[in-house]
Structure 1
Amino acid sequence: MTTLPLASGRDVPEVKTPHPHEPWPPKATDRELGRLAEQRNLDLAIRGNDGPIVELEQLFRQRFTPSMRHSIAFNSGTSALLAAYMALQVGEGDEVIAPVLTYHAAVSPATALGAVVRFADIDLQTRGMDPDHLEELIGPRTKAIVIVHHWGHAADMTRIMNIADRHGVAVIEDCSHAHGSAFEGTPVGSFGKVAVFSLQANKAVFAGEGGVLATDDQEVADRAILAGHYRDRALRDVAAADLHAYWESGFGFKLRMSPFNAIVGIESLRAFDELAGGRQAALSYMNDRLAETGLLDPLDVPNAEWMGAWYGFKPLPSHSVRTRVERSTLVRMLQDEGVEVDAPSGRMLVRLPLFAGRTPWRRPGDNSTRRPTEDEIASTFPVAHLVESNALSLPTFYRWPHDRFVIDEYLRAFSKVALAIESGRIPNDEPRADRASLPRDGQSHGR
């Protein structure tokens, strides 16, 4: 590909800072390494919620869900979501409503339990579930609504909770992207019947693998414990007499967190506020200046502090850019300028084999499970289709003010590429081999 020259005539990339521009996760501290070594000789497998397990649960609840009385650690966010569905007794004949553009683990445990999933379009500003589409989909068989606070943006919880309460349907908040995020000042994870956070390695609070379930409902807590814990913890913590009878076996699964993961999570949590502050400063700076470049539309962020750790930065090209150039070409042009960018890796769930052809994707009354055509997908989920087809995935800078220099390089690269597109200097050949890359958030979706 021919690199477009700068105004000075120099034929060099605009971004000269070496990759990666978002090195993650941060290196372990001496304290973390010391605690891991000490735990190795103390206890390899904690069976209850003692030691670092209970420490993590308490610290996590205090920081992120102070209004919830219960927090329960699991070996992954997906396991915590499975426990949430089991705690709400989701099963055969039930329906669950989920956003169509998110990570599959938000809803795949419900499918594993035999429930039918109905997909809702997303809102362009929040990237979360569209309340209007939710209202169309909810029906007498709806057992749960799973809300994903996608990329750190809080969904519209006022409208969603009004709909759910009016129909008597439980809400699960998937906060895996949204540690520390808030909706109009109230922490996410505080609205629904149950909330789940992932601690997978790329999350803002990470444990390598892990998850935390939070709830204020004692029966939900009892069932969640039995979904993944048995014997010691179930014997001590399950309150309801009929459920306590299951203490020896739980509900048949072992989904406990390792004490080593808990220690990593504790140390990550202790560093969270500094990380979140850095991301808010860095990404607000970049977002506020996007409009100047003419290439990308700024994200709709009412208050940077409500974004928590701002897990992902996924802007759309401006309308004029989208009408002139394919995303793949735009990505190649930006990569040629040294920008660490690609298309987000996640597809609409209605496309995945796990759901396609076996899940009704239209509104209630039309239970056809045939695979939808591309035109039907675009007309049923117009906003998700727009985002899926056009969004870009950029680094979530967090080392402020250190990262200001590379962000300024990005902004100059955006302006340069926008000018090239407007001038008609658009390459139409294949990307150079040394610029090829995998989707940059391919590993970061994990629960």
Structure 2
Amino acid sequence: MNDPKVTLPFPREPKYGQAEKDAVLKLLDDGHLSEINRGPATNALEAAFTRLTGTRHALSLNSGTASLHAALHAVGANPEAGVAVSPMTWISAITAVFQAGSYPVFCDIEPDSPNIAATAVAQSADECSAVLATHTWGIPARMDQLAKATELPIVEDCSHAHGAVYQGRAVGSWGAAGCFSLQESKAVSGGEGGVLTTSDREIYERALTLGHHPARLAAELTFPELWPLTGTGAAYKYRMPAVSAVIARQQLRSLPTRMLAAEQNLATLRKALEEYDAPIAWPSIGELSVRGWYGTPLTISARVPDPRALYEQCKAAGVPIRSQYEDWTQTPLLQRPDLAARYWPHLAASPYRLPTRDALPNYYKALRQMIVLKVPQVPASDYMEQVAEALATVLARAVLTA
């Protein structure tokens, strides 16, 4: 008898629907695709993100990476002290630290979550100027514990966590600044783009100087120490195209409905896997919290001897598994300061230390034991039941052969 496989296609609606098309066509008819000031497209999107996060300010940029750069610059990342970062993140959350003139200090993740551990941050705080906390795969980081662990400014990387809430408070509002990506694979997309959120006016203005037009700087800068930058800024040109802004604005409107569907799909999957007695531990987000929807990390409670083989078995069974990130800590860019210094010369004289495997035991255990699934954002109970049966069968075989 053949093992069960997922035969239904992955349920999805078109990424960009009629509302997005209408918004783009209206923009084309208006004849303004670039807004050097806070024009109507960027204004509407920035206002929507302040409402989403409950913050006072939002700043549109041309990528999530640019928002991280701007935020780290604004909170005072510097060459003399590093930025505490998690190894379980996309490479841009690491290279943004270099771009901001600092260097990464890798901190281990929690034993029961894919996010940076407050205990590890506390141990590294003396050598850091800021903390960059990624809400990995949409699971909110334990921001209250991080705030207790250090007085350093915390930048939230919310690129996986649009609409997520931790203990009743939106991600992007806990730290000194929050950073959202609008890249196409994210829950809210503008094709490309990024948004920075903060309730600190000085951080907002400092971030504004990094890559926005002098017209906007002249209109918005209020701090005397920033006035000399009014005519130039730092001229990185990080402005968001108006097309991206209007698309992302429409995507935000449909986000609650899509999040609800994903939550219901995950509940179906969890119930079915529990009935199969599958060896899986589920991430805990706590009461009054809501997760984001970029990926769904599941920890296999039985030892996984060959993670690559398990991944291939899941793929063959039609399970919607996604690849984990590469182990960036061991890549040439992070292991060869001479190579990184070609792009960021300040590293030649910085106290940057090469990351080692021994310092990150929880991270390496997660690389072995964790799988990440894609969960549809449209109602799909039949599909999720097929996924549960196929995944449970794969895991049962893996346990028996371990």
TM-score normalised per structure 2: 0.90
Match of 1:191 among 174, 183, 194: 174
Q: Give the alignment of 1:174-213 within 5 angstroms.
A: 174-213=157-196
Matched, 1:40 2:28: yes
* Residue equivalent to 1:253: 236
* Residue equivalent to 1:396: 375
SS at match of 2:366: helix
Amino acid at match of 1:216: S
Cα–Cα, structure 1 residues 107 and 371, in superposed 2: closer, same or farther, change >3 Å? closer
2:166 touches 2:288 (CA, 8 Å); kept in 1? Answer: no
Matched, 1:132 2:115: no
Larger Rg: 1
Match of 1:313 among 296, 299, 302: 296
Amino acid at match of 1:161: A
Q: CA deviation at 1:213?
A: 0.5
- Superposed structure 1 runs of 4+ greater than 6 Å apart: none
* Residue equivalent to 1:15: 6
Matched, 1:77 2:57: no
Amino acid at match of 1:417: V
Gaps of 5+ in 2: 341-350
Cα–Cα, structure 1 residues 414 and 208, in superposed 2: closer, same or farther, change >3 Å? same
SS at match of 2:180: strand
* Residue equivalent to 1:267: 250
- Number of residue pairs matched? 389
SS at match of 1:71: strand
Cα–Cα, structure 1 residues 164 and 301, in superposed 2: closer, same or farther, change >3 Å? same
Identity in percent = 23
Gaps of 5+ in 1: 6-10, 360-366, 427-447
* Residue equivalent to 1:337: 317
CA distance in 2: counterparts of 1:266 and 1:312, whole angstroms? 22
* Residue equivalent to 1:438: none
CA deviations 1:73-127 (Å, max 9, x no partner) are 0000001111111212323212111112211212312213331321000013231
1:201 touches 1:208 (CA, 8 Å); kept in 2? Answer: yes
Q: Give the alignment of 1:106-121 within 5 angstroms.
A: 106-121=93-108
Moved more, 110-119 or 270-279: 110-119
1:280 touches 1:307 (CA, 8 Å); kept in 2? Answer: no
Amino acid at match of 1:142: C
CA distance in 2: counterparts of 1:415 and 1:15, whole angstroms? 12
CA deviations 1:146-192 (Å, max 9, x no partner) are 11111111111112101222xxx111111111112122222111111
* Residue equivalent to 2:43: 54
* Residue equivalent to 1:436: none
* Residue equivalent to 1:172: 155
* Residue equivalent to 2:348: none
SS at match of 1:134: helix
SS at match of 2:197: strand
CA distance in 2: counterparts of 1:422 and 1:118, whole angstroms? 36
1:96 touches 1:146 (CA, 8 Å); kept in 2? Answer: yes
Match of 1:380 among 334, 351, 359: 359
* Residue equivalent to 1:278: 261
Q: Which has the higher helix share?
A: 2
* Residue equivalent to 1:432: none
Amino acid at match of 1:389: R
Cα–Cα, structure 1 residues 114 and 52, in superposed 2: closer, same or farther, change >3 Å? closer
Amino acid at match of 1:410: V
Amino acid at match of 1:350: T
CA distance in 2: counterparts of 1:186 and 1:390, whole angstroms? 30
2:283 touches 2:298 (CA, 8 Å); kept in 1? Answer: no
CA distance in 1: counterparts of 2:17 and 2:288, whole angstroms? 26
1:102 touches 1:150 (CA, 8 Å); kept in 2? Answer: yes
Cα–Cα, structure 1 residues 92 and 404, in superposed 2: closer, same or farther, change >3 Å? same
Cα–Cα, structure 1 residues 244 and 311, in superposed 2: closer, same or farther, change >3 Å? same
Moved more, 297-306 or 246-255: 297-306
CA deviations 1:191-242 (Å, max 9, x no partner) are 1111111111111111110111111111111111111102221111111123
CA distance in 2: counterparts of 1:12 and 1:149, whole angstroms? 35
TM-score normalised per structure 1: 0.81
SS at match of 2:195: strand
Matched, 1:26 2:5: no
SS at match of 2:191: coil
Cα–Cα, structure 1 residues 121 and 240, in superposed 2: closer, same or farther, change >3 Å? same
CA distance in 2: counterparts of 1:331 and 1:147, whole angstroms? 27
2:108 touches 2:359 (CA, 8 Å); kept in 1? Answer: yes
SS at match of 2:217: helix
CA distance in 2: counterparts of 1:291 and 1:227, whole angstroms? 50
CA distance in 2: counterparts of 1:90 and 1:276, whole angstroms? 34
SS at match of 2:123: helix
SS at match of 1:56: helix
CA distance in 1: counterparts of 2:203 and 2:352, whole angstroms? 33
1:181 touches 1:305 (CA, 8 Å); kept in 2? Answer: no
2:82 touches 2:352 (CA, 8 Å); kept in 1? Answer: no
